[in-house]
Every structure is written in structure tokens, then in C-alpha cells.
Structure 1
Amino acid sequence: MPRARAVRFHEHGGPEVLRLEEVETGAPGPGELLLKVEAIGLNRAEALFRGGHYIEPARRFPARLGLEAAGVVEAVGPGVTGVEPGRTVSVVPSFSMNDYGVYADRALVPAASVVDRPEGLDAVGGASVWMPYITAYGGLVEVGGVRAGDTVVLTAASSGVGLAAIRTALRAGAVPLATTRTRAKKEALLAAGAAEVIVTDEEDVTARILALTGGRGADLIFDAVAGPGVTALTRAVAPGGTLLLYGAVGGLPTPYPGFDLGMPAVALRTYTMLETTRDPERLRRAHAYVLSGLRTGVFTPRVDRTFDLTEIVSAHRAMEAGEQVGKLVVTVAPVS
């Protein structure tokens, strides 16, 4: 029976509850494949799941973690076609962490959740591009309908998704305005392609967005923070525009501002990338969109730093500190 080193937690808590343990993986069942994991992309959803604050609670302990990885197919289960052992692939988030987790050197995953890793993209890159760019594509293009000439505001823009959203907005011909809490990341965001950067600890967000748009407001705001700040953001949406909430990294209650602001003509909507990755047709379009961006060099992996699997606690502490610009990736030593 194949065995693996897997990260699990036996209770909710901080990074210190994570343990690297030896487990049996089992053989892949119908619709599954067994992956030799080479690299793992870290996502804030995993920290929330570990802490008991995710949109879906852990149903049992010990619990596993991990939604995004790159590796080599080791074996396929009954009914799996189009992928064979030896293929280099990436895992895109489309499943529940109650069912699967890729924080391991071997992991079972649904075959429907893997995409081919294009030639020239290494494992670290393969574990760091799909979640950010599929999230940005799904939110800005599929749901947000961003068009050339639109102004798009991107909050928490130094994250992997934020940086991917800057590139996605530029590819659509839109104007990306980035927000960041402190001045420390301003130059990095400008270098990444942001037209302007708003430092939220120093500037009035509403006033700055309105000033930058000639008083009209933004056509689309793609917000990862949520919390009380949505009221200020709603004030800065153009009539008929959209405020799209795709995260809640602020960790505070989020009001509905529509009535307090006099019922403006603004659409408020939540979005998760699962809308894209769990819909085969949307995923097909997203994969083609991101792949073409990678092949032309418009899209590139943005990795802040890497950790070894044995350093998973430190990696989660770094993720929660929020000082990175881009993605944190965990590398995995080859498994025999």
C-alpha cells in the first residue's frame, strides 16, 4: 500500500497544530489519480480551514489540508482517461479539503481537478499560477465582464490573486488601481503593472478612487478584504458598476451598505473560484485563457519565497504575517 508524508491537524488552532505524519494513501479509486507531489501552493483558505474559520468546517480529525499542487501522476483509478502515469500536471482547487488534501509527498486527487503543466513551467511555477489566475479570470472576466477602458480596483493587491488580477485587467485593456495597507509594497505593485496604488493606511480610499476616475467611480471593485471597508468601497463604484467580494482577509463582520448609502445603482456580489473550477465548461475556458497567457509571457508565476515540506509551520506563519508579494510555495523532496 503506498505511503506518504502528509500534513494533518488534530484540532483547530494556529500554525503550531500542523503535524507532518506518515499515512497510507490507498490506491486511486474511480475518477481519482495518485500524484507524486513536487510543489504545493499555499492559500489563505487553508489557514482559515486550519483555524476553524473557513466557509466549510472540518468534519473530522485528523484533518488534511491543501488545494493546489504540481507533480507527476503515479497511478490512475478506474474510469480515468486522458491522463496517464508519468504525466506532469497541476492540481487546481475544485474539491473539499474534507475529501482531499495535497499537503503531502503523495496525494490522491480527483482526475477532474488536474490540468496539464505546459512545457517550460517547472513544479514551483505549476503550483503557483492556476489558483491566482483562474480566480482573477473567473472574477474579472466570467462574472465581472470587464471590458477595455474599464477601471478596476483591486484590494490586497500584493497577494498572488491580486497580482494575477493586475495582469488580467491589463490583458483586457482595463485600468487596474491597486490598494495596499502600507507604503512598503507600493513600488512592487507599480512594477507589476498597477496604474496607481492607493495606500489605505494613509489615504481616503473613496476620495482617491473618485479622484482617479474623474468623479465617476470604478466599474468593478474586486475585494479580498471585506469587513467595514465595503461601505467606503461601495461609495466609489460607478453607477451600474459591481463590487465583487472574493475574500474576507480582514476577519471582521461585513455590513450590507446599500440602504445606508441610499440604495445606489451598484451590484454587490460574492465570488469564489469554485464557481469556475467546478463547472467543466468554465474551467475549460479558464484553462485556455491562462494557458494562452503563459505561452505568450503575459502571465508569469509570481513566487515570493519557498519552504520545504518540513517547514510547513513556518510557511503558515509567513502566510499569516502577510508580508509577501506574490505566492508562497512549499517544495517537496522526491518520493521513492
Structure 2
Amino acid sequence: MKAIICDSYGPPSNLRYGDLPTPSIRPDEILVEVHACSVNFPDTLIIQGLYQVKPELPFSPGSDIAGTIKALGADVKGFKVGDEVVGFAPYGGFAEEAVLPAKACFPKPPGMDMTQAAAFLLAYGTSYHALNDRAKLKEGETLLVLGAAGGVGLTAVELGKKMGAKVIAAASTDEKLAICREYGADEVINYTKEDLKTRTKELTGGKGVDVIYDPVGGDYTEAALRAIAWEGRYLVVGFAAGNIPKIPLNLPLLKGCQIIGVFWGAFAQKSPGKNIQATMELIQWFFEGSLKPRIHATYPLPLAAKALEALLNREVKGKVVITMK
């Protein structure tokens, strides 16, 4: 099968388009003919050897998969060959065929095309787990989303509004913030032009924000934390800025706040029942028209490295998807 192959850890330019053998499956796994696979920030880390998961070389990156079942493990129930599915795997999605754990595989909603389906599960799953399970966001609270025009950030804006919060979107350009407005943001902050802490305080009447959703890290983390409300919740989602910030621990003390880690992939594996319930709710909201994945661009499989570079260069507004067909 054709695949994007990582032979040695490094930047996207190290990847090659070539052949890998069709992967074998265990009894609790499903072999999928991949139609589309979205690009996520962990993909840029795993190819550099910087992610929690370090596959044996060579391997193919890619986690968020939509496609058609080709084969079933002996213990898999509830699916059949030919079913259209969407699912999540640690890696292997930038290929014509990939393996999905059965517990991380779902029927593809018939009203959702393959590109949308590939862009849906990880981004919305992460944000819903963060806001609902970890922060327990309440109606009427304020939510600040950093990197708000990115793949997960935009879903946090959408879901925050769906859950009844006042949403403040922070991003690096006015063009990105205009998209955040389209997706429901009540207020916006361009943190390349405005002081993040000062403007957040102004927009909340000096109170600060109840919940901060941070998939970026880097230089804006401490400024955002200084603008959190008493008993606020700071969600650590990722480090798209490229460096992990060091937090002065007197700030959580003075703010009476919580710093909360968000790792949706581990949650999906450790609590599959809860994850299935949440995924079904998200799919229902999609059908109701409440959620609309934003596809920034699609790339054919041979150009997957270009998609990863676009993500690293912060050119992406929404999701980028690799298509096989």
C-alpha cells in the first residue's frame, strides 16, 4: 500500500511517499481502507520523536481516520466489512490502509462526508472532554480560547457557545478572529496587537475569565493565567507554540484556581463508555446543525508533508485533511 513514511525522526521534509505492507490486525482491531485523514498537531510531534507515543520506525503518522472496513478482528462485534467508519489511532492514518482499535471506531454518520468525518472526532472530542468533563463549564461563565482559529481552538469556540458560555477568542491575526466571530465568539483579542491580560480583564469587567482553553502554550500562557478569575480553571490542551511554559506556582495560590491537564486520547482509551456517549452527543449536534467542521484545505496523500508544514507555520484556520481518493 502507498503511505507517507517516517524513516527517521525529523521535520516534515524528511518524510517520503512510498510503500508499506498492509498492517496486520489483532482480534480487537479493524482494518480500514482510508478515504481521508485529518492533520493534527500531535502528528508534527510524533514524526520528530517528541510525542508521548514513539512508534517503531518506519511508520506512518496520522490519527483521525475516515474510511471503509476491509477486515475485522475475531473479537470485533457490531461492524461488518464494507461499513463506513470514523475512528482514532495513535498513528498510521497517512496511508491507504490503517488499523483502528474497535473501541475507538464509530459508524460514519450518513450525512457527513469522508472529509468532514476525518476532521471531526479528535478536534471535537478533545474540546468537549476539556470543557464538559475537565472544566465542567457552566452556562453563563466566561471562556477564553487561545489559538482560537486552529483545529481544536475553533471547536472550543463552537462548543463553548453551545454550552451557554460567553466566549472570548484570542488569535494572532484579524483574519483568524473574523472566522472566530463566524463560529460564535462574543469578543475577540488579537494578542499580537493587544496585551492579553489587560484586554481580558477589560472584557470581563475586571473579574477575569472562568475557564481558559490553551492548546498553544508558549509566551501567552502566563499572561492568560494572570487574567483568570477566582476559582477559575486553566485547561492545558497542547503546546502548538513549540515550547512548554514554566508556571510560577504562586499564581494558582493567589487565584485559587486549578490547572487541569487534557489528554483526550488517554481518556478515550481508559473510559471508552463515556467517550462513546460523548461522541454520540457530538454527532447529534452535527446533524442538528450546531457544529460545522471548518476545512481549511485538503491535500492528496503524496503532499501530506506540505500539510504538516502548513500546520507548523500557523497558516491553517480550522482543519487540514489528507485525502486518498
Fold match by TM threshold 0.5? yes
- Normalised by the shorter chain, which TM-score bucket? over 0.9
Contact 2:225–2:251 (CA under 8 A) maintained in structure 1: no
Q: Cα deviation per residue 1:166-211 (whole Å; 9 max; x = unaligned)?
A: 1111111111111001223121111121111100011111111111
Contact 2:200–2:209 (CA under 8 A) maintained in structure 1: yes
Instruction: Name the counterpart of 2:283.
Output: 291
One-letter amino acid of the counterpart of residue 66, structure 2:
A
Instruction: Name the counterpart of 2:235.
Output: 244
Equivalent position to 1:30, from 20, 27, 31: 27
| TM-score under structure 1 length normalisation | 0.92
Mean Cα deviation higher: 293-302 or 313-322: 313-322
Q: 1:72 to 1:253 in 2, by over 3 A?
A: closer
One-letter amino acid of the counterpart of residue 267, structure 1:
Q
Instruction: Name the counterpart of 1:96.
Output: 90
Q: 2: CA distance between counterparts of 1:180 and 1:331? A: 28
- What SS does the corresponding residue of 2:308 show, helix, strand or coil? helix
- What SS does the corresponding residue of 1:10 show, helix, strand or coil? coil
> Is 1:304 the equivalent of 2:296?
yes
- What SS does the corresponding residue of 1:63 show, helix, strand or coil? coil
- What SS does the corresponding residue of 2:143 show, helix, strand or coil? strand
Over the aligned positions, Cα root-mean-square deviation in angstroms equals: 1.5
Quote the offset at 1:229 in angstroms.
2.5
- What SS does the corresponding residue of 2:152 show, helix, strand or coil? helix
Quote the offset at 1:78 in angstroms.
0.7
One-letter amino acid of the counterpart of residue 42, structure 1:
V
Equivalent position to 1:47, from 38, 44, 49: 44
One-letter amino acid of the counterpart of residue 162, structure 1:
G
> Is 1:258 the equivalent of 2:244?
no
Quote the offset at 1:260 in angstroms.
5.7
Q: 1: CA distance between counterparts of 2:158 and 2:107? A: 22
Contact 1:230–1:257 (CA under 8 A) maintained in structure 2: no
Gaps of 5+ in 2: none
> Is 1:173 the equivalent of 2:167?
no
Equivalent position to 1:67, from 41, 63, 68: 63
- What SS does the corresponding residue of 2:25 show, helix, strand or coil? coil
Q: 1: CA distance between counterparts of 2:233 and 2:284? A: 27
Quote the offset at 1:228 in angstroms.
3.7
Q: 2: CA distance between counterparts of 1:262 and 1:271? A: 21
> Is 1:144 the equivalent of 2:144?
no
Quote the offset at 1:63 in angstroms.
2.5
Q: Cα deviation per residue 1:45-86 (whole Å; 9 max; x = unaligned)?
A: 011111222233x25321221111100001101111001111
Instruction: Name the counterpart of 1:20.
Output: 17
Q: Percent identity?
A: 28
> Is 1:77 the equivalent of 2:68?
no
1:176-191 to structure 2, matched below 5 A, reads 176-191=167-182
Quote the offset at 1:214 in angstroms.
1.0
Mean Cα deviation higher: 273-282 or 136-145: 273-282
Mean Cα deviation higher: 271-280 or 172-181: 271-280
Give the length in aligned residue pairs: 324
Q: Cα deviation per residue 1:218-260 (whole Å; 9 max; x = unaligned)?
A: 1100001113422211111110111111001112241122326
Contact 2:229–2:255 (CA under 8 A) maintained in structure 1: no
Contact 1:8–1:63 (CA under 8 A) maintained in structure 2: yes
| TM-score under structure 2 length normalisation | 0.95
Quote the offset at 1:321 in angstroms.
1.5
Quote the offset at 1:281 in angstroms.
2.1
Mean Cα deviation higher: 314-323 or 150-159: 314-323
Instruction: Name the counterpart of 1:332.
Output: 324
Contact 2:5–2:17 (CA under 8 A) maintained in structure 1: yes
Q: 2: CA distance between counterparts of 1:30 and 1:235? A: 50
Contact 1:219–1:242 (CA under 8 A) maintained in structure 2: yes
